Amino acid sequence: MSDGLPPPAFAGPGRFVTGSVMRHVLVMSGTGSIGLMAIFVVDLLSLLYVSRLGDPALTAAVGLASVVQFFATAVNIGLMIAAGALVARAIGAGDRVLARRLAASAIALGVLVAGILAAAMLPFAGRLLSLVGAKGEALRVADLFLTITLPSNVLLGLGMLFTGLLRATGDAVRAMWVTLGGAIVTAFLDPLLIFGAGLGVEGAAITVCVARATFVIIGWRSLARHGLLRMPRPAEVVADAPAMAAIAGPAVLTNLAPSVAAAFLTHLFAGYGQDAIAAAAVIDRLTPVAFGGLFALSGAIGPILAQNWGAGRFDRMEATLGSCVKATLVYAAGVWVLLILLRGPLAGLFGLRGIAAELFQFFCLVGGAIWFFNGLLFLGNAAFNNLGFPLRSSLLNWGRATLGTVPPAYLGSALFGPKGIIAGMGIGSLVFGLAGLALARRTVSRLAERSALPVSGEGSTGIVTGELAFPPGAGHDTRGR
C-alpha cells in the first residue's frame, strides 16, 4: 500500500547483492575512511592546539575527558549498529515499507536513550574522571570539558544514526558527508575559539557541540532524499524496540569493553605521571587517524553482509570476509611503515619529551602489528552484529578487555614499565583478533548450511535469523528469495 511519498532510492534489490564484492568493500570503506578520518584528524588537531597552550595538564585533561565520554559514545554506536543492520536486511529483502518503519523507530529510540544517558552521566562526571586517574588541574579542566560536551550527546547519537542508516542503503557518499561536514566545521572553528577568542579548552568543547549539530543537519537532509524519514508511531516504536535491543544491547556491551579497557589502561599510565597520560592521550588521538581505514572497513562489511543475507547470497558473504581480510593486511602494513619512519617528528610535533616521547615512539614501533589483529576482531564483530549473533561479539570484546588486557598489561607494567603496558595490549589483540576472524567465517558457513534445510510446512529454503528476528507484525517474509 502506498504511503503517499515518492519511491525511495533503495526501492528494488539492494545495491550490494550484485556486482564486485571487492569493489563494494573498497568503495564503502574508502568513503567511510574519508568521513571518519576527517573527524579523527580534527580531533588530533584539537589536541595539538591544546598542547600548544604549553601545559601538559591540559593535554592530559582532554584525553581523560575523551575516555569518560566514550562510554556514552559506545551506546550510540550500539544503536547505530542495530538500526543499520535491521534496515539493511529489510532493503536487501526488498521491503521498503519495513525499512522506513524501522528507521523512524530507531531515530526515536536513539534520541530518547542518548538524552537519558547524558543526563545520568553529567552529575557524576567528576567522580568518573577520578576513577580513571584524573587529579588536580587535569581533573578540573576535564570536568569542565564534559560539562559542556555531554549535553550534546543527543546530537551525536542522532548524527551517528543517520550515518548508519545511509550506509544501510548503500549511500556511502552521503554517509561520508555527514561526518566530513562536521569535521570541516571543526577544523575552522577550533583555532578561532581556542586561540582567537582565548577560550582554550572551553573553546575546544564548544566546537565539539557545533560539529555534532552539523552532523544532524547534513544527515537529516541526506535521509530525506532516500525517503527514509517519517514521523515515528508510538505503537511501532514499542513493537520495534525488542528487535533493536536484540542487536543494540549486545553491541553496546561490545563497544563498552574497549572503554573499560581504556579506562583501566589510563589508570595504569596515570601511575607514571602526567607526562605518561599526555603520551597516552596523543596515542589515543593518533591511532584513529592512522588506522581509521580499519574502523571504516568494519563499518563497510556490515551493510554488505546484511543485504546479501537478506537476499540469501551466502557465497557473496564469504567473499566479503575474504576481501576485508586482504584489505586489512595491506592497510595495516602500510600505516606501520609510516609510523616507524615518522615516530621522531610526530613526538616533537606534540611537544612530547622524556618518558612521554619514549612511550609514544615505542607505540609507533609495535602499533602496526597490534592494530592488524584489532582490525581482524573489528571484522568479526561487524559480522556477528549484522548476522544476528551480537552476543558473540560481546564475548570476544569483553574477553579481550579483561583476560586480554588486565593480566598482560599488569605484568608488562611490573616488568617493563609503561612500555610493557603497550606490549600487553598487543598480546590480547593477537589472540582475540584471530579468534574473531575464525568464528566469523564459521558463522557464515553455518548460516549457509542451515539455509539449505527445508522450512517446516513450506518446502523452501529459509534464512536463519540466529539471535535476531524482524519485528512481529511487520509484514516481512524471512524466507529465502
Task: Look at residue 469 in the predicted model and tell me its pLDDT.
Answer: 39
Would you state the cell numbers that stand for residue 465, as one nine-digit string? 535469523
Using the predicted structure, report yes or no on whether residue 227 has a pLDDT greater than 70: yes
Greater pLDDT, 469 or 415: 415
Task: Look at residue 174 in the predicted model and tell me its pLDDT.
Answer: 86
Average the pLDDT over 66-71 and give the result: 79
Q: Give yes or no for a contact between 375 and 333, defined as CB atoms under 8 angstroms apart.
A: no
| CB neighbour class for 23 (10 Å; exposed up to 12, middle 13-18, buried from 19) | exposed
Task: Look at residue 1 in the predicted model and tell me its pLDDT.
Answer: 37
- Report the amino acid identity of residue 346: L
Task: Look at residue 354 in the predicted model and tell me its pLDDT.
Answer: 82
Q: Which of 109, 36, 99 shows the shortest CA–CA distance to 76? A: 109
What is the residue whose three cell numbers read 616488568? 415
Beta bridge mates, 105: none
Task: Look at residue 339 in the predicted model and tell me its pLDDT.
Answer: 93
Task: Look at residue 136 in the predicted model and tell me its pLDDT.
Answer: 81
Is residue 87 very low, low, confident or very high in pLDDT (cuts 50, 70, 90)?
A: confident
Using the predicted structure, report yes or no on whether residue 481 has a pLDDT greater than 70: no
Is residue 105 very low, low, confident or very high in pLDDT (cuts 50, 70, 90)?
A: very high
Task: Look at residue 30 in the predicted model and tell me its pLDDT.
Answer: 66
Task: Look at residue 155 in the predicted model and tell me its pLDDT.
Answer: 93
Beta bridge mates, 461: 454
Is residue 14 very low, low, confident or very high in pLDDT (cuts 50, 70, 90)?
A: low
Is residue 133 very low, low, confident or very high in pLDDT (cuts 50, 70, 90)?
A: confident
Q: According to the per-residue pLDDT averaged within each range, which of 1-10, 134-143, 304-313 is highest?
A: 134-143
Using the predicted structure, report yes or no on whether residue 460 has a pLDDT greater than 50: no
Task: Look at residue 154 in the predicted model and tell me its pLDDT.
Answer: 93
Using the predicted structure, report yes or no on whether residue 33 has a pLDDT greater than 70: no
Task: Look at residue 452 in the predicted model and tell me its pLDDT.
Answer: 60
Task: Look at residue 462 in the predicted model and tell me its pLDDT.
Answer: 36
Using the predicted structure, report yes or no on whether residue 365 has a pLDDT greater than 80: yes
| Number of neighbours of residue 14 by Cβ within 10 angstroms | 25
Percent of the chain with pLDDT over 70: 85
Q: Give yes or no for a contact between 277 and 60, defined as CB atoms under 8 angstroms apart.
A: yes
Using the predicted structure, report yes or no on whether residue 422 has a pLDDT greater than 70: yes
Average the pLDDT over 166-179 and give the result: 83
Q: Which of 440, 355, 364 shows the shortest CA–CA distance to 395? A: 440
Average the pLDDT over 68-84 and give the result: 82
- Rounded to the nearest 10°, the torsion over CA 265, 266, 271, 276 is 110
Domain spans of the chain, in order of start: 19-451
Query: Phi and psi for 467 in degrees, rounded to 5?
Result: -95, 15
Using the predicted structure, report yes or no on whether residue 400 has a pLDDT greater than 70: yes
Start-to-end C-alpha separation, the chain = 21
Angle among Cα 473, 477, 481 to the nearest 5 degrees reads 170
Percent of the chain with pLDDT over 90: 18
| Number of neighbours of residue 459 by Cβ within 10 angstroms | 7
Using the predicted structure, report yes or no on whether residue 130 has a pLDDT greater than 90: no
Would you state the cell numbers that stand for residue 96, as one nine-digit string? 521498503
pTM of the model: 0.65
Average the pLDDT over 373-395 and give the result: 82
Query: Phi and psi for 135 in degrees, rounded to 5?
Result: -145, 155
Task: Look at residue 455 in the predicted model and tell me its pLDDT.
Answer: 39
Using the predicted structure, report yes or no on whether residue 458 has a pLDDT greater than 50: no
Task: Look at residue 472 in the predicted model and tell me its pLDDT.
Answer: 36
Would you state the cell numbers that stand for residue 170, as one nine-digit string? 548503500
What average pLDDT does the structure give for the chain? 79
286-342 pLDDT, tens per residue? Answer: 887 788 778 777 767 767 777 777 777 777 777 878 888 888 899 899 999 999 999
178-216 pLDDT, tens per residue? Answer: 888 888 888 889 889 988 888 888 998 899 899 899 989
Task: Look at residue 31 in the predicted model and tell me its pLDDT.
Answer: 64
Would you state the cell numbers that stand for residue 281, as one nine-digit string? 592521550
Q: According to the per-residue pLDDT averaged within each range, which of 26-40, 83-97, 268-282, 338-352 is highest?
A: 338-352
- Report the amino acid identity of residue 276: A
Using the predicted structure, report yes or no on whether residue 36 has a pLDDT greater than 90: no
